[in-house]
Amino acid sequence: MTELVLAELGGWVAAELRVDQALALADSGVVDVRGVPGAGGYEVRPAGWVGAARIAGIEVRISPKVPVRRLLFLLGYARDARGWRDEDLGMLPNVELLPALAEALWRQTDRALASGVLQGYVTVEDAALLLRGRIREADQLRRRFGSALPVEVRYDDFTTDIPENRILRSAIDRMLALPGVTATGRARLGRQRRRLAEVTRIPAGMPRPEWRPSRLNRRYQPALRLAELVLTATSVEPLRGPVAVNGLLVSMPRLFEDFVTTALGLRLAARGGRAARQDTSRDLDADGFVPLRPDLVWYDGDQPLAVIDAKYKAEKPEGFPGADVYQLLAYCTAYGLRGGHLVYAAGNEVPRVHRITRASVEIIAHTVDLTASPAALLARVDRLAEVVAATCEASP
């Protein structure tokens, strides 16, 4: 099997590909592909994704710029800021994303099941030969036409086939189906799957069952958070175009946007008002032909106080940073604000203030260092919230 080992910011890499393989990779959207003039070969580079995937028989592995542990912290915090703890990850090996996540999932599942498989009550609707629970009279009349047996019943069953175990079992199965998991990781996950053999898997394409944190499932909660990360990040559907992608992939621009809007939104809302993510309440033009969707808008009632957009730049594209400033200027115009905020992942941009000529608008660019520790990251977001609030107070 052809293997492509790439680094997130490593640039173009030569690859020996057939024409059909090059077309499949390009259609997947996981990597960019270009032909090499005169050489008859191809070059590939990451297109914003990190992780591992199998695409048209090609195994693609893309290592992230940030440490794996930091990447998983960002993923967990963006999903559930109030419930996520960095120590949920345990001691991760310094390896690629997929083996590290498999190791973390195995360890947390092992701890969750150390005292036995959790059981609980679930409501079952069934056609039974013996009366159990309550008769579903409407279903009995509609389906059985007066027959006495079987009986349409509803009852509560004390079982291991509960949402928590279904999520763990499905995440383990999904991880075992992915390329890049080590033989040791597969053996360890296989042992945990055998302990959950009586549990139903979540069918592909179906939503995850809901679970609520409680005293009873407290020992399961770190494992459940990791399992949900696995189920969210894995895909067997086409990302773009007709090519199916089987793997665990994380979009770094989307991850950065989710982390910034989650963390900053919570801190702004704590100061009063509300923080609206992906706000669609305004259009740029009067006729509504140019809709706007800023990443985060801070409101006091119906009055907008600040608009923020998060930008993850793997490299400086043509026109950078002009296009970002134009976009924020459009947001400020539509929301009637004197200032807007751009939040970049530290790397290509530095903090600066863009004072817009003849518009009395300031666009402030901030940076967040994703390689910093979780405590330092969250402290930086605290400071960012203070700056956003201060600029709102200073605006006329």
pLDDT at res. 238? 44
Q: What is the pLDDT of residue 190?
A: 94
What per-residue confidence (pLDDT) applies to 204?
Answer: 77
Task: Report pLDDT for 144.
Answer: 64
Would you call 237 exposed, middle or buried from its count of C-beta atoms within 10 A (0-12, 13-18, 19+)?
A: exposed
Alpha helices in the chain (DSSP H): 19-28, 68-79, 97-112, 137-144, 163-176, 183-195, 221-233, 252-270, 322-335, 374-394
DSSP notation for 60-97? EEEE-SS-HHHHHHHHHHHH-TTT--GGGG-S--SS-H
Tokens coding 32: 């960019």
End-to-end CA separation in angstroms for the chain: 63
Token pair, residue 259, equals 């982390």
- Report the residue count for the chain: 396
Nearest CA to 249 out of 94, 43, 88, 59 is that of 59
Euclidean distance between CA atoms 66 and 169, whole angstroms: 29
Q: What is the pLDDT of residue 236?
A: 47
d(CA 111, CA 162): 18
Q: In the numeric block, which tokens belong to residue 276?
A: 């609206």
**Among 59, 100, 63, 96, residue whose Cα is nearest residue 246:** 59
Q: DSSP label at 247?
A: E
Element (H, E) at 251: strand 246-251
pLDDT in the model for residue 299: 94
Do the bridges between strand 339-345 and strand 303-311 make them parallel or antiparallel, or are there none, so unpaired? parallel
User: What is the per-residue pLDDT for 278?
Assistant: 92
What is the crossing angle of helices 221-233 and 163-176, to 10°?
50
* Contact partners, residue 48, CB within 8 Å, separation at least 6: 251, 252, 253, 312, 314
Which pairing describes strands 120-128 and 2-7: parallel, antiparallel, or unpaired? unpaired
The structural domains of the chain, ordered by start, are: 1-65 (no CATH), 67-119+160-235 (no CATH), 120-159 (no CATH), 253-394 (3.40.1350.10)
pLDDT score of 265? 94
Q: Which residues contact 120 (CB under 8 A, 6 or more apart)?
A: 158, 159, 162, 164, 216
Per-residue model confidence as pLDDT tens for the chain (396 residues) = 678 889 888 889 998 888 888 998 988 888 999 988 666 689 999 988 988 888 888 888 898 888 888 888 888 888 766 656 655 565 555 567 888 888 888 888 999 999 999 988 777 666 655 566 666 657 656 666 656 667 666 656 678 889 999 999 999 999 998 877 888 889 999 999 999 999 999 987 788 888 988 999 999 988 898 898 888 877 544 455 556 677 888 889 999 999 999 999 999 999 998 999 999 999 999 888 999 999 999 999 999 999 999 998 755 555 457 889 999 999 999 999 999 999 998 765 667 888 988 888 999 999 999 888 888 999 999 999 999 999 886 554
The b/e string for 127-163 (b: 16+ C-beta within 10 A; e otherwise) is eeeeeebeebeeebeeeeeeeeeebbbeeeeeebbbb
The DSSP-derived string for 260-301 is HHHHHHHHHHHTSSEEEET--S-BSSTTSSSB---SEEEEET
Please give the pLDDT value at position 336. Answer: 92
* CB-facing half-sphere around the CA of 190: CA atoms within 13 A: 8
Amino acid at 107: R
